[in-house]
Amino acid sequence: MRRFIGRALGRRPPAAFVLVPIAALQGFAGAALIAAAEFQNAPGSTSTLGRPMVEQGVFLCLAVGIGGLVLPLVGGALPPADLGSSPHETRKALMYGSAGILIFLSLLT
């Protein structure tokens, strides 16, 4: 979290790491929906939405987000640029954020 907030350490995470907090939000929200489904008056859609959020949304966001750093490094390429280092990286972060929202929306169907 310190790397996202401040520049004290000198490096910031790459743009793809925007998906990591989105994965955490999907995990917490999905777990809450699954827990809420245990109550008698809960609609059936709570469990139907919660399970894919935990089982698919979290892992897909983590795979794409962390894979955006790991795969180039494993392939011998240079590490990706830091978030906020250029306008191009900011646009990439917005696109990754949009992808995270699309992943969530795909779970609604």
Classify residue 26: in a domain, yes or no: yes
Query: Which residue's entry shows tokens 């995270």?
Result: 100
- Residue 4, domain member (yes or no): no
How many structural domains is the chain composed of? 1
Whether 18 is in a domain gets the answer yes
Q: What is the pLDDT of residue 5?
A: 59
Residue 8 in domain? no
Q: Which sign, positive or negative, has the C-alpha torsion 28, 34, 36, 42?
A: positive
State the pLDDT at residue 38.
82
Structural domain of 45: 14-107
- Flag whether 59 is in a domain: yes
| Cβ atoms of residues 35 and 26 within 8 Å | no
Residue at 61 is within a domain: yes
What is the number of other CB atoms lying within 10 angstroms of the CB of residue 2? 9
Distance, CA of 51 to CA of 11 (rounded, Å): 35
Residue type, 36: A
From first to last of its 109 residues, what are the pLDDT tens digits of the chain? 555 555 555 677 888 999 999 999 999 999 998 888 887 777 777 878 889 999 999 999 999 999 888 888 889 888 888 888 889 999 999 999 999 999 999 998 7
In angstroms, the CA 84 to CA 70 distance is 19
Return d(Cα 55, Cα 27) in angstroms, integer: 9
Residue 32 maps to a domain: yes
Q: Let me know if residue 2 belongs to a domain.
A: no
